[in-house]
Structure 1
């Protein structure tokens, strides 16, 4: 698989057929409107109620917003982006070697997706992903080269996890949950994904990432200064504008379910460029494998029956991966049906046939 890395196509040429998407999934045009409607929330605003209101409004409308003055040092953000770019600039064999220290594959390097061998069409990206908690257990398996990677990315992960906790506390307060509701099992498994999208021979025919919603509670994204992230809103694609030292925050399926649909998971994708490379860092906040995911009691009553059924996160994760994030398949799995219980707190199905 390593010989198929898209970074090996830096020298131009034509787009390989294996990356050409079906016509209905291609970006087609190369110019898209900028999402000026996406809120940019200033965390130096000391009016907590106003901040919560802005976040909830953004999550209801778009499932996505940006934050500035968020407390993560700007120098650390710059150093993180630099070391991640340096990692992806290394020779292929070195990148693969740096991400193969753990036989359990807690740190791994791949191209397109982790379903590369079975997917019908590939996507224009290379990626490294690794576990982040506890740091002392996992950092030993992170890349040692570039030499600053572990120190810088470790500090960055700690800072962004703190930001994620703050954001989840604000969302929880806005939804009427008890303090600390999203702590513990609902933010137990953070993972850092570093995506790299080299220049592409024909951005109109392929994508860096397909249309999807994340399988996380929330995702915090450092997208640098090169556009590429797009959000789907009102049946149209919009560019999420890169802002200096801002983070993009997007909601995943899990928070959509827990809020009983009050908040929405962001539907997004990544387009490529023919002239510049793009590197991004995304911290995914996942629940523990055995967490029960369901609409929360505070948001369910006779007037607002549960829209989603209860399930274990590990079952959802398996389904999401096997369905390659296909929205229709995932929704069939999570939506409550007439055959489910009607009190909103039914038994979790431990024996689901995930091959269906």
Structure 2
């Protein structure tokens, strides 16, 4: 067995994650965490970890979204979302309706899970994709062959209205359930507003059944002794339709915009919204799915929770393509039809850090006739 693969396996078999390395008191990171030079922080100063730039991610205030007609804010909010998704693919959302206490409880309970004695959480450590609840370090560890500086607690939900809470770790069971169910109203609002931002009826995305809450990843980024040599998460776009991200007060999240990596400073009480590859596909490129990453830092732990929205059940194998309402002779289809299941399978085969899967395999080369 190749020595590097053996080292990856030895780390994985310990089932203690990055947190276990930090607890052991290491002063230098193991070689399996050292990223290739192309993934290094480049012009980022690893001390403060951020690029200084006047560009800032759009902040959208959802207050008044239900006010229609003259004097209402809905049309203004829809226009802000349209511009953000066309230009950035991301926006920060405030006054979104999810109580601050619910956000705080999720972050706290995620931290408590990761910081409990190792033997209490090792039973959840797994790479079995059929398990609904699992804990692991670097999801594509053996594909990218580079460990990333984070541990993750992952949940897959069949039906968020009838969650089987007993399958969740007791230390964060109630908090996870409350948070996920609190997002149901928000994802319905986002579905309406994004539909309208596309110039379609407010129920259009709902009719496609593509925005169902399916997965929650709770990430834990321990402080890193050599943050300039590794990454929290390698660059990637999301393969889903929409992502709702909660992050704590510690910086590290960055988006690729205008040919540079830009810091997204934490904004207390906000949620970060971004379109995924499948949203870019069905909007024929009108709304962007943008690469992003998390840099490692000396300060931590940093906590975040990413909730992914995508089809459920049989809708995972039905074909999705550019919406007919958004294509024309002057704007022919840019992407071929694909099912969510097919797309995710191809995406997963490439690993994080690779060229964007949507552009690499699903984009038409002849955009004049869609063939």
Q: Quick check: TM above 0.5?
A: yes
**Structure 2 residue 120 is matched with structure 1 residue 94:** yes
SS in 2 for 1:182: helix
1:179 and 1:99 map into 2 onto residues whose CA distance is 41
2:331 and 2:40 map into 1 onto residues whose CA distance is 38
Partner of 2:56: 37
2:131 and 2:348 map into 1 onto residues whose CA distance is 16
**Structure 2 residue 220 is matched with structure 1 residue 196:** yes
8 Å CA contact 2:236, 2:356 repeated in 1: no
Of 5, 10, 14, the residue aligned with 2:28 is 14
The gaps in structure 1 that reach 5 residues or longer are 347-356
- Change in CA separation of 1:242 and 1:160 when aligned onto 2, cut-off 3 Å: same
1:62 and 1:204 map into 2 onto residues whose CA distance is 26
Deviation of 1:140 (Å): 2.9
Partner of 1:294: 321
8 Å CA contact 1:2, 1:111 repeated in 2: no
Partner of 2:146: 121
**Structure 2 residue 359 is matched with structure 1 residue 331:** yes
Aligned runs of 1:1-356 on 2, under 5 Å?
1-3=12-14, 5-10=17-22, 11-28=25-42, 29-30=45-46, 31-33=50-52, 36-45=55-64, 46=67, 47-98=73-124, 104-113=130-139, 115-135=140-160, 136-144=162-170, 146=171, 149-183=172-206, 185-288=209-312, 289-325=316-352, 326-338=354-366, 342=369
Deviation of 1:105 (Å): 0.3
1:62 and 1:88 map into 2 onto residues whose CA distance is 33
2:35 and 2:81 map into 1 onto residues whose CA distance is 35
- Change in CA separation of 1:88 and 1:34 when aligned onto 2, cut-off 3 Å: farther
Partner of 1:354: none
SS in 1 for 2:82: helix
Deviation of 1:234 (Å): 1.0
2:55 and 2:271 map into 1 onto residues whose CA distance is 16
8 Å CA contact 1:2, 1:92 repeated in 2: no
- Change in CA separation of 1:293 and 1:92 when aligned onto 2, cut-off 3 Å: farther
1:301 and 1:163 map into 2 onto residues whose CA distance is 32
- Change in CA separation of 1:221 and 1:103 when aligned onto 2, cut-off 3 Å: closer
2:135 and 2:286 map into 1 onto residues whose CA distance is 36
1:233 and 1:197 map into 2 onto residues whose CA distance is 24
1:301 and 1:39 map into 2 onto residues whose CA distance is 30
1:175 and 1:329 map into 2 onto residues whose CA distance is 24
8 Å CA contact 1:99, 1:143 repeated in 2: no
8 Å CA contact 2:277, 2:358 repeated in 1: no
Deviation of 1:118 (Å): 3.7
SS in 2 for 1:314: helix
Deviation of 1:268 (Å): 0.4
1:103 and 1:140 map into 2 onto residues whose CA distance is 19
Deviation of 1:201 (Å): 1.3
8 Å CA contact 1:99, 1:141 repeated in 2: no
Deviation of 1:82 (Å): 0.9
SS in 1 for 2:195: helix
1:255 and 1:112 map into 2 onto residues whose CA distance is 25
The gaps in structure 2 that reach 5 residues or longer are 1-11, 68-72
1:225 and 1:137 map into 2 onto residues whose CA distance is 29
1:341 and 1:59 map into 2 onto residues whose CA distance is 24
Q: TM-score, normalised by structure 2?
A: 0.85
2:143 and 2:194 map into 1 onto residues whose CA distance is 38
